[in-house]
Structure 1
């Protein structure tokens, strides 16, 4: 296939090639109507000439498009242009897990647990729709710059309940032998337990620094998955916590019935392990998990309902006047939201995703702002601030984006300069000044300069703060300040 860089495929302008595989090439492209970057997966010309394969390619891409989850690379469109069949999907600025391990080697246990948690959440979403990924491996686990893990390439996926119309050709074993389950190698039916096996092999690779089985040919590796037990993880990484070793070993059990039954069951096990890991000091506890992960856990929902019920019973037992009960409940809700916002804004930077996306120059200031929002880096926001055609409103939006980025990363000192500039905006730009003073109160408080924090807090009224509906995280943090 010839390089498509510089070509136009419908609404997409191809910018550069990101990678090449046996079935498709992946390009970075710009969707011009929305001024956003996408990853464009273009089917190879040889396969595009086979109608049956094109039909399966389109069918499976549409199945993947139904999977909307924070830890799944989102499919936007399946299309064709000038004889090229493509999938437009979310572009994840960062690198995949395989690239990171080639540069850095083994992954520390706490990060392994974090990656497993996010991939398991993605697989659980797929399991809800009876979709099996069939090719879970480090190359398909994307590490975003902001710390999110996203599972890519559901192109090999199939809907397990659609046996009558299944497009996967009989007798064709798809996947990557280094990470493939025994039943997939043998051509037997697969379900989500096969993905759990492949994720277990990936976890083994992260901890040990190498896959459990290696060989000169794919066939020799495949035979080992069926017949051979791997060396213990502790042979390669003696300090690996025993509970994590046991979890990975169960994921890699030869028989599907000996593994976790579903990704949701695995997610429950990971939550229990996270609690233990937090107590032992080698990983963060589940209190730092994202809201989407916790929502996936049915037991978490039950526990939350039970806790709320107990809270309401306790409130009723106080036999306070109605207005007093409402005030207490509001205070509890505000405190809970403030705690969640604080955990989000002050989360630890993710050490694996250490590369930043390129900053592209756009003709209009609005397009440059969209681009800055997509990549969310200081350089991206600075390019929007410095755009020659940017008006004062666009410059202020870019400065707010830069300040938010620094606050989210815990870089409070770096946030001061753009925020001080925004605080000096003309008096008729009240929302800009309010945003700046709210954020400055938070930043100075975190830096220990309580006098400045109090000064900026006094510069805004409750009404002013309530008029910042798009900055609720900052608002809740602002209200929680102890000044």
Structure 2
């Protein structure tokens, strides 16, 4: 290829900031960070009006044709992993000698940053994180994909409470010839801290290698430091091969022994002594959840706090403000105890208030209007919390419907609301606009006592109408949404959809039908977001 022969003229140096450049359908807005393999940019996908993260391959890696072919092949394989707990890859491409991955834009912080800021989590939150990462690895294993670089930096915690595993498209393609510089001085953090023994020895890998790395990550998360550390990567690697970690129960006496055993099982030197797969790990984590947390586990619901409007439940908003103030104060042991105490109170209040609000707003409507009543290809679980965990793991339409249909009692309305929002996401991903619109319309029809749910429905409805080229109707819905816009602040996903809708509507209608203040407000929501993307 001509560009392979002329890299100096066509491939920019890796430390050059590409912000402002057009890369095919993507406008690179600003650089978010740099990693060992790629630079990360926030970009707008012009055709869809959505924000994405663009990872540009480093120049020296782009010069190796064998490496590039593997990069493209295996990144495309990773793009087939569609799951709620995996950062979605949208496109793998090459333009003007620049090799890139366009992927889902994740807002929040990675687990390493979270630990540094807040310290070790309590049992409930730890289980939420562990279960969601295990669900992602189970999905990857089904496709025969080994991540190879599970570590806190590649586990993203979103503002809505979801956990997403990043860099399947990059970590998987590390060349076996590259290896790791095990003589590097001052090695205290980095990939060698989380490598499996078989990785250290260069042996063939299977999904159990990822479980070992997850075990190291979980040990770090729960203890506050990794099980092994040293002055050089070589020193750390030898410990992965020969040294047993300090028992976790000696460090965290508050944790159930069963959870500590699970972590140490993942850390077994022999892959045959680890869990057979991520699904077995999930079953053991569920058992810990049932025994030590209980049947009702509302914290597992992503974005639970968004279900309660400020006006309806001011005491919850007050607790949220106190929680945020404590979280900003530092990672001291005293602060951590206060954080999780407040968190438990806030969740309990939100669950009661949210369930009540959702009940009165939605009880008179069918759980899934016009939904097929065909039998669900999903096994019933012992309780609604386990059913939610199952749905999170398999992430299919039937699985989310099962949360609603198997547990249709009014006290589970909070779960129903969140399950419907997950269904809408699946329908949008599949291009099933009719089914998505039914859910958006149901939420949009709520009264103003539930503004956050209503504005979510209105935003989705506005976007679908624009996709269907019903521009007048879309603008009418946006006008209805406008007085409630403050309840959408911080919801970057819906802000992006609205940005696309308003921009397309302005192209088709008179500019006066889509005032510029609308576009300016949406743009301010997107620009104002604080974003961390995995390097």
Shorter-chain TM band: 0.5 to 0.7
What residue number does 1:232 align with?
247
Secondary structure of the residue aligned to 2:102 is strand
What residue number does 2:415 align with?
343
Matches within 5 A, 1:319-330: none
The one of 128, 136, 140 aligned to 1:114:
128
Matches within 5 A, 1:126-275: 126-156=140-170, 158=172, 168-170=175-177, 172=179, 176-275=191-290
Q: Is the 8 A contact 1:181 1:197 kept in 2?
A: yes
The offset of 1:151, in angstroms, is 0.5
The one of 17, 20, 23 aligned to 2:37:
23
Secondary structure of the residue aligned to 1:131 is coil
Unpaired segments of 5 or more residues in structure 2?
Answer: 1-13, 182-189, 301-382, 420-450, 463-473, 492-535
User: 1:209-243 deviations in whole A, cap 9, x for unaligned?
Assistant: 01111111111111111110111113332212211
The offset of 1:377, in angstroms, is 9.7
Flag the 1:122–1:337 CA change in 2: closer, same or farther, 3 A.
Answer: farther
The offset of 1:337, in angstroms, is 7.5
What residue number does 1:76 align with?
90
User: 1:91-146 deviations in whole A, cap 9, x for unaligned?
Assistant: 11111111111111212221111111001111101111111110000100011111
Flag the 1:234–1:405 CA change in 2: closer, same or farther, 3 A.
Answer: same
Secondary structure of the residue aligned to 1:336 is coil
Distance in 2 of aligned mates of 1:89 and 1:228: 38
The two structures have a TM-score, normalised by structure 2, of 0.56
Q: Is the 8 A contact 2:67 2:175 kept in 1?
A: no
User: 1:398-421 deviations in whole A, cap 9, x for unaligned?
Assistant: 5567658899xxxxxxxxxxxxxx
The one of 52, 55, 64 aligned to 2:78:
64
The two structures have a TM-score, normalised by structure 1, of 0.62
Q: Is the 8 A contact 1:267 1:297 kept in 2?
A: no
CA RMSD of aligned residues (A): 3.8
The offset of 1:288, in angstroms, is 3.0
What residue number does 1:396 align with?
480
The offset of 1:344, in angstroms, is 5.4
Matches within 5 A, 1:265-414: 265-279=280-294, 287-288=384-385, 291=388, 293-294=390-391, 296=393, 333=405, 336=408, 341-343=413-415, 345=417, 393-398=477-482
Matches within 5 A, 1:458-469: none
What residue number does 2:344 align with?
none
Secondary structure of the residue aligned to 2:408 is helix
Unpaired segments of 5 or more residues in structure 1?
Answer: 159-165, 306-331, 348-375, 408-483
Distance in 2 of aligned mates of 1:236 and 1:403: 42
Higher relative contact order (CA 8 A, sep 6+): 2
Instruction: Report the structure number with the largest CA radius of gyration.
Output: 1
Distance in 2 of aligned mates of 1:116 and 1:193: 15
Distance in 2 of aligned mates of 1:283 and 1:391: 36
Q: Is the 8 A contact 1:111 1:283 kept in 2?
A: no
